[in-house]
A and B are shown apart, each in its own frame.
Chain A
Amino acid sequence: MEYLREVLTQQVAGYDQLPEVLQIFLPMLLACLLCLGLVALVPLVAIWGERKVSAHMQDRLGPMRVGGWHGWAQTIADGVKLLLKEDIIPAQADRLLFKLAPLVVFAGGFAAFVVLPFGERFIVSDLNIGVLYIAAISSLGVVGIIMAGWASNNKYALFGGMRAAAQIVSYEIPTVLAILTVVIPVGSLSMQEIVKAQSGGVFNWFIFEPVTFLAFWVVFLGTLAEVNRTPFDIPEAESELVAGYHTEYSGMRFAFFFLAEYANMFLVSALATTLFLGGWHGPGFLPGPVWFILKAVALVFVQMWLRWTLPRLRVDQLMHVSWKVLLPISFILVLAAGTLALWREGAP
């Protein structure tokens, strides 16, 4: 944001003559709009990508018509269709909470984009507590999902909401512990500090260190479960729950849940990129932000690949994986990371 203000001051004539309030406020507004654009654009591409990936994995073509080249404009057409649809609220639903829930879910995903380090200077706000902020703000999504499930006044929606909450809260614990294995050697929660600690060649990325290599898989699985993707998609298991917590939603309100889901997929991939894959570091022929987005998109692709390859876990298997497999592993990893840090410092 400071960088944005600097650029504005240099490039726009008379910017420094504006009132102080505006000078601070305009870069904030601009940064917000950029983030909002990204949150809207990423799902647009990702939804098309998912349909193409799934189609090719099942030996189909997927959308081919809208827009000409491989149906690239299909999602835009679908978005316009969703906008024009009737806004249905069930008669027995809690109207206020029903309307509020998609916004809460979307706001949680959107707010987390603020600390994503796209490049050396492309970050809205490099908070001192960046990693903690992401972990904290994503809990807004849980509350929104429960809100949606409860306000719909539908048993399937309520079940979906409850399952989602139980799942997200459970998987948050091993994920955050595994993230700690990166925070310990870096000694900071700031996203930029974590990226800077991985500078100097591919082999300085945390994925190539013994402890953090294992932590990467814990974080990947945990975040996969937190965004409710297959094989952890029991909150919206079609065969049991119709569509889970958004069963009763239609039109634009449904689109908000859909946008949030794909924005969250990108968000957790970007988080894993920052923590383990060197963030915006990469060979110099491409600028940093491009590397960052490429790495994140590659992880999004893996998520889609898994979705169209694996079957869904049962509820008890899901809890088993979190509490009896991932949690002990992540405890051992934290211990190992601490020991390693002490050993490297040369303490007795």
Chain B
Amino acid sequence: MSVTDIVFILTAIVTVGSAVVVVVSRSLIYSVFSLLFTFFGVAVLYVFLGADFLAGAQVLIYVGGILVLLLFGVMLTHRLYNLNLTTERFQPIAGTLIAAAVFASISLAAFKTKWKLVGERELEPTTQQIGEAFLSSYLLPFEIASVLLLVALIGAAMLVRRRTDV
């Protein structure tokens, strides 16, 4: 087992472990804080795949933006501890079946697919490639995404504006 394997296994344990905590934790605040480790673990996995820019963006957006927003949201809710998160209808049998089916299909896909394996390579700068792709072949999706975000921004500003007509 090489050093890379050990680091990968450690990262995988942290990522999956913290993701499990997110789901099963009885306290909302612990769920959010363990998301921190999940996000970081995913960023490290991106580095393993040679996507360094994506890893940086992952941490910047998910930890610096989304996690902070989630924390703000969680702190404004009551009953942070011993939260009993269940829906009104509880169907253990159907739920187990569906979960098992999803698990089986994902594992089948993971083991049956002939993955194209490449050996270990030096980290190449991907930033320029991503930038060129965004501004040439993927210009339309890029623009649509930015218009969508602009709409969301205007909507948020609209919701919190001071009402002058009341």
**A132 in complex: contacting residue of B33, B53, B128, CB < 8 Å:** B53
- Which residues of B in the span 110-138 have a Cβ within 8 Å of any Cβ on A? 123-128
Given A94-B29, A146-B71, A165-B68: A133 touches B63 (CB 8 Å cut-off): no
- Which residues of B in the span 91-127 have a Cβ within 8 Å of any Cβ on A? 123-127
Residue of A nearest to B75 (CB): A150
Question: Which one, B9-17, B54-62, B144-152, B158-166, is touching chain A?
Answer: B54-62
Asked if B127 contacts A128 (CB within 8 A), the reply is yes
Majority secondary structure of chain B interface residues (helix, strand, loop or mixed): helix
A4 at the interface (CB under 8 A from B): no
Further pairs besides A143-B67, A150-B29: 8, Cβ < 8 Å: A97-B29, A128-B52, A136-B60, A136-B63, A139-B64, A142-B64, A143-B36, A147-B33
Asked if B123 contacts A136 (CB within 8 A), the reply is no
Chain A 119-130 near chain B by CB (<8 Å), digits 1 or 0: 000000001110
B36 to chain A, nearest CB (A): 6
Binding site for A on B (CB under 8 A): 3, 29, 33, 36, 52-53, 55-57, 59-60, 63-65, 67-68, 71-72, 75, 123-128
Asked if B125 contacts A135 (CB within 8 A), the reply is no
B43 to chain A, nearest CB (A): 8
User: Which residues of B lie under 8 Å from residue A136 when comparing CB positions?
Assistant: 56-57, 59-60, 63-64
A25 at the interface (CB under 8 A from B): yes
Asked if B65 contacts A127 (CB within 8 A), the reply is no
Majority secondary structure of chain A interface residues (helix, strand, loop or mixed): helix
Given A97-B33, A135-B60, A165-B72: A129 touches B127 (CB 8 Å cut-off): yes
Residue of A nearest to B81 (CB): A94
Chain A 155-171 near chain B by CB (<8 Å), digits 1 or 0: 00010001001000100
Residues of A in contact, count (CB < 8 Å): 32
User: Which residues of A lie under 8 Å from residue B63 when comparing CB positions?
Assistant: 136, 139-140, 143
Q: What separation, in Å, do the CA atoms of A158 and B71 have in the docked complex?
A: 12
Q: What separation, in Å, do the CA atoms of A104 and B33 have in the docked complex?
A: 11
A24 at the interface (CB under 8 A from B): yes
Chain A 90-106 near chain B by CB (<8 Å), digits 1 or 0: 00001001001000100
B119 to chain A, nearest CB (A): 17
- Which residues of A in the span 1-38 have a Cβ within 8 Å of any Cβ on B? 21, 24-25
Binding site for B on A (CB under 8 A): 21, 24-25, 94, 97, 100, 104, 127-129, 132-133, 135-140, 142-143, 146-147, 150, 158, 162, 165, 169, 172, 187-190
Q: What are 11 A-to-B residue pairs whose CB atoms are below 8 Å?
A: A100-B33, A129-B53, A129-B55, A129-B56, A132-B57, A143-B71, A146-B68, A146-B71, A158-B75, A189-B127, A190-B125
A192 to chain B, nearest CB (A): 12
Residue of A nearest to B6 (CB): A21
User: Which residues of B lie under 8 Å from residue A187 when comparing CB positions?
Assistant: 128
A169 to chain B, nearest CB (A): 6
User: Which residues of A lie under 8 Å from residue B127 when comparing CB positions?
Assistant: 128-129, 132, 188-189
User: Which residues of A lie under 8 Å from residue B125 when comparing CB positions?
Assistant: 128, 188, 190
A12 to chain B, nearest CB (A): 20
